[in-house]
Amino acid sequence: MSAIAGFHYHFYQPPREDPWTGMFSHEWSAWPYHDWNERIAAECYRAMVAVALPDEDGTTSLFEPLTQSSFDLGPTLHHWLSEYAPDVEHALQRQVHAASRGANRVVVGAPLVHAIVPLATPIDQERLVAWGIDDFRARYGEEPVGMWLPETGVDVATLEVMARQGITYTVLMPTQAAMTRAPSEKWKKVAPDTIDHSKAYFISLPSGARMTAVFGHHDLSHRVAFSDLVADGDTLADTMASTVGTDDGGVL
């Protein structure tokens, strides 16, 4: 089996209400939309709900990218979508419930706000994770299995907090891995260009719990974010296939 390349989407927008009035100010840089939340919802979130693709027989079918990937959506953004873009929020809910459930579900949780969790006090770490879980439960009617950490900021204490609250995996970047080992083998140093992205890794915690970490692809992630690689879908697909192609199986 060959490796499967895919995306994890991190969706987040900060609250933009005026703290004194509770109203949204007009952001002229977001023209022709009222503010940047509206513009990003139109150009990104709503566009990701369904994509019209031409078929070989000349007809058109709808493809739902989020059901074929994994993603997290910040609770503050969920709140805004439910109020100002309910069509997007309802479509997300439907797609999540229609896709795989349990450990294979497409959506993962996130802390309540976009705080760098390791920099928070111990009690705030517990609250950020717990309140993010509560929001997930309220949105989707299930317990989250995985959790995205803002900026993938992590330390052992944060992993312990997540494990205590039932989270079993998170997504990290290869620059955050120093050494890995297979069972009964010796530790070996790894770098962003040497770590095997096709495998999930268990992190043994001091408490005896363990957390699973899935590492993104450093070069591809950087090129998707900061180059024109996403300007052409065929080029993106070919680049991903040639970059991550392997014969030993796994998911990237």
Give residue-wise pLDDT tens across range 45-95. 888 888 888 888 878 888 887 777 788 888 888 889 998 999 988 888 887
Give residue-wise pLDDT tens across range 209-252. 999 998 888 888 888 878 888 788 788 878 877 776 654 444 44
Query: What is the full DSSP assignment across 128-179?
Result: HHHHHHHHHHHHHSS--SBBPPGGG---HHHHHHHHHTT--EEEE-GGG--E
Give the pTM: 0.82
First CA to last CA across the chain, in angstroms? 13
C-alpha span between 204 and 202 (Å, rounded):
6
Q: What is the dihedral of CA 149, 165, 98, 92, to 10 degrees?
A: -40
From 63-72, 111-120, 164-173, the region with the lowest mean pLDDT: 63-72
**Collapsed DSSP state (helix, strand, coil) of residue 23:** coil
What confidence score (pLDDT) does residue 101 get? 60
One-letter amino acid for residue 69 of the chain: S
Which residues, listed in sequence order, are joined to residue 52 by a DSSP beta bridge? 62
Proportion of the chain above pLDDT 90, given as a percent: 37
pLDDT beyond 50 at 187? yes
- Asked if 154 contacts 128 with a C-beta cutoff of 8 angstroms, the reply is no
Two structure tokens written together for 165 = 């609250």
Proportion of the chain above pLDDT 70, given as a percent: 91
Two structure tokens written together for 83 = 């109020």
**Collapsed DSSP state (helix, strand, coil) of residue 59:** coil
What confidence score (pLDDT) does residue 104 get? 57
Which residues, listed in sequence order, are joined to residue 107 by a DSSP beta bridge? 71
Local confidence band at 134 (pLDDT 50, 70, 90 cut-offs): very high
Looking from the CA of 106 toward its CB, the CA atoms found within 13 Å total 20
Give residue-wise pLDDT tens across range 149-160. 999 999 999 999
Averaged pLDDT score across all residues of the chain: 85
- Asked if 96 contacts 70 with a C-beta cutoff of 8 angstroms, the reply is no
